[in-house]
Amino acid sequence: MHLWARPWRSRWVRLSLLSSLVLGLLLVSTGVAGAQATLPSPKSTQAEDILELYYIVFGVGAAIFVIVEAMIIFVALRYRRKDGDELPPQIHGNTMAEIVWTGIPTIIVVIIFAISYVVLEDVTSGPAEGENVVTVDVTGRQWAWSFAYGTPIGAQTTSALSHNPEDESLQVDDPDAFTSFSRIRLGAEHMRVLEIDGNRLTVARAIDGTVTQTHAPGTPIDSLFNGTEIRQEERLGGATPTPVVTVPVGTTVRFDISSEDVIHAFYTPQFLYKIDATPGRINTMWVKVTEAGFYESQCAEFCGREHARMLFTVNALPQAEFDAWFEAKSSASVVEPPPDGDGTDDGDGTDDGDAAVRGRQLFFANGCQACHGDQGEGFIGPTLAQTSFTIDQVIQQYRTPRNLMPPFSADRVSDAEVADIHAWLQTLPLPATIVPGEGTP
Ligand SMILES: [Cu+2]
């Protein structure tokens, strides 16, 4: 009997009906995911190129799919077996057909390769010679991001600094441009000035996980400042303080991305590509943003317990607003030298200046600034400047943190050192926006 008379009788017809139903449901379910189901709209020139490439590849794929499916359906219907059909002639090997079906895909692959290569070059090669660039140093760590910016300090090295991280002495042409504890950048390497002796600086190298590089005499020096801002955002189903990186619209931004601990990934959906933050090396991402706005972003590499909370936001400002922001931020973050520890005491028999100097060094040596900010202003952790916690409460927080903060045992930070850090925190100015904690004033 003819197959099409009672199609549901056929096992194959029933099977294909069932599978189309399942496939259809799957397809519909992708729509439920909302924004995740479609591509984000591109907000950088690089992202526009990437999207174009995506559409080309998708178009080629879709055309091949349609042609192949149409041919299969046509052949299946037109040449389906009819009652009384004999076995058709069997063909073995056809040189022409083989050349065609090898040649066409090869040509398609070569074309897609060539277009991809051009786009890749475009996206990764940075701006033309002499074009203005804003460099942002991005540091990922469990589980936060921080963003540093540099301003030329007008000084340069007059001696070389070798690749060896033990090499910590550096001669400069203008020592007056530095204060002890200035944070500087040579090439892409971060350092902190520990001591100034005539023209010689003693530095702590490779902070923020930056790779140690070689610096020839004549290397220009930038003064670095922490440009991370905090914004209260409705994400993860609640209000979350999220670190913000500020960039200009229309000027190429160079993100130098690194990590202090494990591998993270810097990902802004509207840029349409992501770059790993790898400890011990710097990966660069070029972006020329096309439209002002806040772009919600996140770590895109599973990096531990709080990975899902490792959010950040790109704040793209029109050039003039960015310049004003940069100006204000860089001058506000000139770090005043700490009390000099000259032996004066305020009546309690201790030299508070001295304690504050040590406290500040300990604060940075233990990486507290990563979560609490260079000036204890607060970031992923609460504002610590002028904390109303007693020393005992602070010690308790260090040994057994209430929540996210990693514990610091007594052999890492002794009770006496906690007291020094506490003394320094009391000397700090209160920031304009307080990140709340239990001991914030
Ligand atoms: Cu991460």
pLDDT grade, residue 340 (50/70/90)? very low
Query: Which of 173-182, 184-193, 305-314 is least confident?
Result: 173-182
Residue where the block lists tokens 């972006």: 287
What does the pLDDT average to over 415-432? 86
Mean pLDDT for 126-144 is 85
Across residues 143-151, what is the average pLDDT? 85
- Cα 308 to averaged position of ligand 1 atoms, centre (Å): 8
Ligand 1 centroid–CA 277 distance in Å is: 8
Q: What is the pLDDT of residues 296-317, one digit of tens each?
A: 999 999 998 778 888 899 999 9
Enter the pTM of the model.
0.69
* 162 alpha carbon – ligand 1 mean position (Å): 31
Compute the distance from residue 300 Cα to the ligand 1 centre, in Å.
7
Spacing, Cα 302 to ligand 1 middle (Å): 6
pLDDT at position 348 is 46
Measured CA to CA, the distance from residue 291 to residue 322 in angstroms comes to 13
Q: What is the mean pLDDT of residues 222-236?
A: 81
| Beta strands in 289-345, from DSSP E residues, in sequence order | 293-299, 311-317
- Going from the Cα of 267 to the center of ligand 1, the distance in angstroms, rounded, reads 10
Contact 425, 358 (CB under 8 A): no
Local structure of residue 105 (DSSP, 8 states) = H
**Residues whose CB is under 5 A from ligand 1 (ion)?**
264, 299, 303, 310
Residue located via tokens 């700090």 = 428
Lowest mean pLDDT among 2-6, 178-182, 434-438: 2-6
d(CA 359, CA 357): 5
CA 265 to ligand 1 centroid distance, Å: 6
Higher pLDDT among residues 367 and 24, named by residue: 24
